[in-house]
Homo-oligomer: A and B are copies of this chain.
């Protein structure tokens, strides 16, 4: 076979690649992160990348596939969970907060998070895949590995705290949240995460220390 157009899984740019594909990916992340799926047009992505709209679909096949390809988590999720679990349990809330806030500081990771949240708010399928990512790869495994009581419930409450931060800081952009110092953000988010991971839970579970 005369070398079909099979893409190398890793190993950097092959001879013949021009970097256009990655320029399109970067532009797509920017637009999806800022405007969501519906609010982003292939034309706008192409314009930002400085290429022709047809080229976007030449590389990625469809807008949907482009979204899937480009909205993968840009870090090793399992490894991040490992590192959090390995650390001091007494500071898990703060360390989880630090990790998430660090990720949100990186424009690429932030745009991935935001793009998926915005898409989830507009589309049930996108909501389902985000739900799967959270419960199956991110927060779910973390709470299970931590060995806390009622792990699913705590994972849900931890997720709520993270969604709350993302929504107020990056989507609705409430002034007081946008204006918080890095320390304040870390402290307040860490406190909530600590509460949800280690605090008492209403209802049935046995509260630690009456």
Contacts and interface: CB of A to CB of B under 8 A. Distances in A.
A191 interface: yes
A87 interface: no
Interface of A: 35-36, 38-39, 117-118, 120-123, 127, 130-131, 134-135, 152-153, 155-157, 159-165, 167-168, 171-177, 180-181, 183-184, 186-188, 190-192, 195-196, 199, 201-203
B191 A199 contact: yes
Q: Copies of this chain, how many?
A: 2
Contacts of A186: 202
Interface SS of chain A: helix
A141 to B, nearest CB: 14
A172 B130 contact: yes
A174 to B, nearest CB: 5
Contact of A121 (B121, B131, B159, B184): B121
